[in-house]
Amino acid sequence: MGSSVSFRLVLLLQAAFLVSAARKLAGSDQTDQQPFLFRYHNGPLLTGNISINLIWYGKFKPSQRAIVTDFIASLVSSKPTSAQFSVAKWWKGTEKYYQAIGVPRKHHWRLHQPVPGVYGKGSYPGYAGDVLVDSATGASYNAHGVNSRKYLLPALFDPSTATCATLV
């Protein structure tokens, strides 16, 4: 259970890093992606209950901090959202990685990172896919979180189907 939490925490941090770094402009070459920066070298993992403290570098407004803290709270939200597309459902998809013992070796690289540039069905380089649009702001999103937040989350590799799984 403890190593499960630590693995998922590492995955979340990697996803946050890659989401911010992986977005490409339309028409850019998808083959020139940066190599993945994190490597697991079979060292010891943290186990048990792990406290997480957010450290804010710079001047963040309370409204900006609330976006991040609401996202983290949305990962394990026991409160069902009004929609089927939730941050908790997206995060639950990482549980399949623990069941991926029989996944062919050629797919192992995909298990530790999100699928860059893919946010909805029908995506291709330069097009994020069919995502939802907030009628008030015009912003794209594919997941609901706590406090009525809306997030745009990347697709994750699904080891059971060997495809990229999107929420919408």
- pLDDT by position in tens, the chain (length 168): 555 555 565 555 555 554 444 444 334 444 444 444 456 677 776 677 778 888 999 999 999 999 999 999 998 876 665 567 899 998 888 777 666 555 555 555 455 567 788 899 999 888 999 999 999 999 999 999 999 999 999 988 877 777 888 888
Question: 93: helix, coil or strand?
Answer: helix
Separation of alpha carbons 70 and 75, rounded Å = 9
Separation of alpha carbons 71 and 57, rounded Å = 18
Evaluated on CA atoms 36, 69, 127, 107, the torsion sign reads positive
Tokens describing residue 108: 């192992």
What is this structure's pTM? 0.64
pLDDT score at 31: 42
Q: E-strand spans in 7-144?
A: 114-115, 132-133, 140-141, 143-144
Separation of alpha carbons 155 and 144, rounded Å = 15
pLDDT score at 83: 60
pLDDT score at 43: 76
Question: 81: helix, coil or strand?
Answer: coil
pLDDT score at 55: 92
Task: Write down how long the chain is.
Answer: 168
